[in-house]
Amino acid sequence: MSDHSQNKMSTSVVNVNDSLTGHIISTTVGGKNGKPKQTRRYLAERIVGTGSFGIVFLAKCVETGELVAIKKVLQDRRYELFLNLVMEYVPDSMYRVSKLYTNTNQSMPLIFVKLYMHQIFRGLAYIHTVPGVCHRDLKPQNILVDPHTHQVKICDFGSAKVLIKGEANLSHICSLFYRAPELIFGATEYTTSIDIWSAGCVLAELLLGEPLFPGDNAVDQLVEIIKVLGTPSEEEVCCSNSNNFKFSQIFCKTMPPEAIDLTSQLLQYSPTLRCTALEACAHPFFDELREPNALLPDGRPFPPLFNFKQELSGASQELIDKLIPEHVKRKIGLPPTHFGGT
C-alpha cells in the first residue's frame, strides 16, 4: 500500500566516487520543524535495481543498522554529481514474484492476486486523491512486495505528475504493455484514469501469468488491445467503450466471474467509463478480504487493508460502507460519518 506521507525519505547530493558499492554515502536528515540536523552514513552493499532514471542500492545505516534502499540519480554530468534518495527497503517486486510462479508453471494463488491488487488500488486512491498525482508508469516492476508480510507499495515516481486540466502532457509515457489507448492515440490531455488502465493490465497479468497486451511497438500494441476489446468506434478513438469484450475467452473457464468483471471495468477504451481506484477496492472480487476471519494461507493476518484516511474524503457513504467491513468498524468504533462521506 502506498501511504507516502508515512514513508521515510531523505536526500543528498554526493560525488560519484562516494556512491559505489562498498563505499559510504553520507546524507543529512532532519532540520525541519525545529528538529536538529543529523548526519547519517550508509554502506552501499549491492545493486538491487536499475532503470532509466538511476540505480538502486541496498545499503545499511552505519549509525542504526537499518537496511534502506538508495536510488542514485545523476544531477549534473559536468561535475558528476548525483542525488541520492534514501527510502525504506522492500525486498521484492511484483514482477519477480510473478515470475517465480510462471517459471514453475504455477498460477499465483487467487488470494494473493486479491491481496496485492487491493493494495495497489488503495495506493492509487491515495495518490490520485490526496496529492493529486498521476503515476504514469504503473507496472509490475514498479510495485514492491514484502514476501513476509505481503504488504505492497507503489514505487518509482520518476514519471509522475500532477495533472492540470487544460495543460498538455506527454503522450509518450508509461511502459508499452501498460499504456492506455488514449496515450497510444496521442492524447496530451488525459487523467489519472491512465493509471487505472495500467492497473487493469497488471491484474490481467497476475491472473494469466503473462502480459495481456504484449506489443512490440505502439501500432502493434494497439493491435493487441483490439484483439481483446474489439475495434474502437470513431467516438472512442476521438475521446481516447466497447461492449465487445472477449475476456471470458481469454481467461480459463475456472476463473471467477468477479475477476473477469473487474478486469472489464478497468480496461475500457473510454477513460470516463473506467472505474476509480476506490470503486475498484469496493468490487466484489475483493469480498474475501473483507470476511471477519480472513487470514493469509499460513494463518497469519493480512497487512493493514482498511485503515483508510484522507483518500475517503468526498466518497459517498455507500462506497465507504463497502470499503470498510462491519467487523472493522466495530473494532475501531468508527461512526458512520467519520470521514465526512456524503
The whole model's pTM is what? 0.85
Closest C-alpha to 72, from 62, 60, 52, 57: 57
CATH dotted code for 4-89? 3.30.200.20
pLDDT at position 33:
78
pLDDT at position 237:
58
Q: Give the number of other Cβ atoms within 10 Å of residue 103's Cβ.
A: 9
Residue with cell 488500488: 121
Query: Tens of pLDDT along 221-267?
Result: 999 999 998 888 766 655 554 443 467 788 888 899 999 999 999 99
Give the pLDDT band of residue 52 (cuts 50, 70, 90).
Answer: low
92 belongs to the catalytic site: no
Can you give the residue ranges of every domain in the chain?
A: 4-89, 93-290
**Cα–Cα distance between 222 and 225 in angstroms, integer?**
5
Of the residues 137, 195, 220, 287, which is catalytic?
Answer: 137
Contact by Cβ (8 Å): 43, 62: yes
Contact by Cβ (8 Å): 84, 41: no
Amino acid at 81: L
pLDDT at residue 270 greater than cutoff 60: yes
**Cα–Cα distance between 77 and 63 in angstroms, integer?**
31
Query: Tens of pLDDT along 30-51?
Result: 777 778 888 889 999 998 887 6
**Cα–Cα distance between 78 and 221 in angstroms, integer?**
38
pLDDT at position 15:
42
pLDDT at residue 340 greater than cutoff 70: no
Side-chain half-sphere of 265: how many Cα atoms within 13 Å?
17
Residue with cell 548526519: 39
CA 267 from centre of chain: 16
CB within 8 A of 90, min separation 6: which ones?
69, 144, 145, 146, 151, 153, 155
Domain spanning 93-290: which CATH class is it, in words? mainly alpha
